[in-house]
Structure 1
Amino acid sequence: MKQTVSSTASSKASTGPSSVTCFKCGTQGHKSFECKNTKVMITMENGDIETLDEDEYEALVQAAVESEEAYEQESGEDPLLCEHDPSPSLVVTRVLTTQPHAMEEQRCNIFQTRAGIGGKSIKVIIDGGSCHNLASTELCEKLNLTLRKHPHPYHIQWLSDKGNVKIQHTVTVTFKIGPYEDTIECDVVPMTVCHMLLGRPWQYDKKAIHDGLSNTYTFKVNDKKFELRPMTPSQIIADRTLVGD
């Protein structure tokens, strides 16, 4: 009988208030919901424990949240959207009837847009498969652009139906697509697919990122973020019937 009483007393002692540890302040004698301590313990990266008042802790958390929001706003600012240029086309032909395009997705389209040069609109294609930035001879002739001898002439074949063509000249082209303005060096070719083609050199120099789903190009110039948006299939069809390519 004495042994039983002793065992019971020992059991009560082991579960008594003095054996309970508060998870909030780390002391014994009470549980966390009974804790009257208004301080918060923070374990630092080096293992040290720092104690703060609840008000100080809340202020610290608020400051961290505001700092993170400010960083996100600075690094993730909305890009300047660059739509095709609405200026009159460089080449105009008779107006034909247009048919609406049922699908507006970009899955089967290369990037096409229009850039403004001297108050005229020119057709532009962005193609990462091209090793050069190119300008058409028609563009150079109609805008009276100054040609220079190419330092390293070469031959191409795929941009024209005239067979093998030797590239002998370069030209400086200044253009504008929405708020994006730029000046680039292009090789001059007798191409009919577009007036200017921005190839791999342009993408490399601008560190442009291509979104395959939306078919957009995003890049920064002078700390400004730009997003080039392509013409929709319907706009491309209308463009082909309204202006000469």
Structure 2
Amino acid sequence: MKPKKNPKFEIGRNSSLYFAIGLNVMLFLSWRALEHKTYDKSEIDLGIVNITEEAEEDVLVIKVNTSSPPPPPVTIQESIQIVEDVEEIEETIIESTETNQEEAIEERVIEVSDVQVEEVEEEVEVPFTTIEDVPVFPGCEGLSKVEVKECFQMKIQEHVRKHFKYPQAALDLGIQGRVSVIFVIDSQGVVTDIRSRGPDRILESEAERIIGLLPKMAPGKQRGKAVKVAYALPILFKFQES
């Protein structure tokens, strides 16, 4: 027969509680041990400090030049003297220049003979293809109208070939193409108003330079009167690649 255990005397019944209490106590003691501070005690002699000399402070003295106060303001007494008018001034009456319906307007009849008409000569610009008498290039004198026109075109082509020079800048950049040049031969036979259009300004400048070297010619005529003549010329800039 096994003896029965009394539950009041069971040792392991509150073991967890005891373990928790013991753990907290140990943690508290460990914390206090770590926080405990110790100091080295040394003998310190406290003497009596006697101040025999007073500290003298250097005081910076700044001298300010104060100007004397300004003098009191001078009071000026104004004396007013009343003078009687001696001269009589005449008032200028300005009359109104506005008109009304009662005033009549003088009618003025202008005769036709009083009107002077001035004739203004206007220079007409005629294209080369429709001009009656084309400009005469030097060396084309004494020919018929048809021959003068053909001679003019031939001389222009010879002039371009003679003065043609391919710009070196255009060669370096590989620029080529067709430049259309338009110029005017005025009533004095002088080449003016040169304009050009092409693929690049370098070629346009060269074409304008060539046309600017054209000589003075006999002016073209329309109905027997010297007029301006417009002429268009294409110039081809092309180089052969080696």
Q: TM-score range by the shorter chain?
A: under 0.3
Q: Give the TM-score of the pair, scaled to structure 1.
A: 0.21
| More strand, by proportion | 1
Larger Rg: 2
